[in-house]
C-alpha cells in the first residue's frame, strides 16, 4: 500500500514522534514506514528458537568487546527513509546514542524469515537496511530448511551476496568478528516436522 505523505490528503498519517510515543504504550509491536504503521504478527516457536540460537552465539562473540547485542524489542531507524523496523537480532559496535528505544548505527542485522515475511525481508527491508552506512552484514535466515542468505559489504563498500544451505557450512562475520555455523543456527530444529507459519 502506498503511503500518502500529505497529511491533508491522509488524516491517518502518523509522525515519527507520535509513533515512538505510542509504541512505548502499545501492547503489540508496530513497524513504521513513512507515516504508516503496521502491526507485527506473532512468531512461531521455531522462529523464536532460531533467533535465540543466533543471539546466543553472537552474545559469546561480543563478550568483552565494545559491541552490543539486541533482539526482538529494539528498533532500527533508517532516517533517510523514515522507517523503523524491529529486526530479530541486532549487533551494534559503534557508539549509538540516538535514542533509548532505537538504534541508527547497527553493523549486523538478522531477520528470521517465513513464507509470510519472505518478500518483505528480501526486497523492502533489504533496500532499506542497505541505506544504513554502518551496516556491514544483513542475514536472512529461513525456518523451513537450512538456508541462510548473507548480504555483505565488500572491500570497496559495494553490496554482495552469498547463500549457505548445509549444516556443515560456516559463515564468517566481520562485525562482530565471529563465525557462525549453520549447525549452531539450527540447533534443536527438527526439519522432519513441518514449520509453523508465523501468524
Domain boundaries, the chain: 1-40, 43-185
Beta-bridged to residue 111, according to DSSP, are 140
pLDDT per position as a tens digit, 34-89 = 999 999 988 889 999 999 999 999 999 999 899 999 998 899 999 888 999 999 99
The model's pTM: 0.90
CA-closest candidate to residue 178, choices 47, 55, 95: 55
Rounded-to-integer distance, Cα 198 and Cα 46, Å: 9
- Mean pLDDT calculated for residue range 140-161: 96
Rounded-to-integer distance, Cα 123 and Cα 108, Å: 17
pLDDT per position as a tens digit, 87-130 = 999 999 988 777 888 999 999 999 999 998 999 999 999 999 99
Rounded-to-integer distance, Cα 185 and Cα 58, Å: 10
CATH 1.20.140.10 given to domain 43-185: no
pLDDT band per the 50, 70, 90 thresholds, residue 194: confident
Amino acid at each position: 500500500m502506498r503511503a500518502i505523505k500529505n497529511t491533508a490528503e491522509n488524516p491517518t498519517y502518523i509522525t515519527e514522534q507520535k509513533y515512538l510515543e505510542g509504541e512505548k504504550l502499545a501492547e503489540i509491536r508496530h513497524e513504521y514506514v513513512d507515516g504508516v504503521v503496521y502491526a507485527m504478527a506473532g512468531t512461531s516457536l521455531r522462529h523464536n528458537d532460531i533467533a535465540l540460537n543466533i543471539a546466543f552465539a553472537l552474545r559469546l562473540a561480543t563478550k568483552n568487546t565494545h559491541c552490543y547485542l539486541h533482539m526482538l524489542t529494539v528498533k532500527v531507524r533508517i532516517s533517510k527513509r523514515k522507517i523503523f523496523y524491529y529486526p530479530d537480532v541486532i549487533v551494534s559496535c559503534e557508539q549509538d546514542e540516538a535514542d533509548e528505544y532505537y538504534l541508527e548505527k547497527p553493523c549486523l542485522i538478522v531477520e528470521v524469515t517465513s513464507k509470510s515475511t519472505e518478500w518483505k525481508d528480501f526486497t523492502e527491508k533489504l533496500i532499506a537496511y542497505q541505506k544504513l552506512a554502518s551496516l556491514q552484514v544483513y542475514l536472512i535466515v529461513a525456518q523451513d530448511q537450512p538456508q541462510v542468505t548473507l548480504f555483505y559489504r565488500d572491500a570497496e563498500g559495494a553490496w554482495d551476496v552469498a547463500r549457505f544451505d548445509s549444516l556443515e557450512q560456516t559463515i564468517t562475520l566481520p562485525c562482530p568478528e565471529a563465525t557462525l555455523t549453520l549447525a549452531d543456527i539450527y540447533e534443536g530444529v527438527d526439519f522432519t516436522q513441518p514449520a509453523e507459519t508465523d501468524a
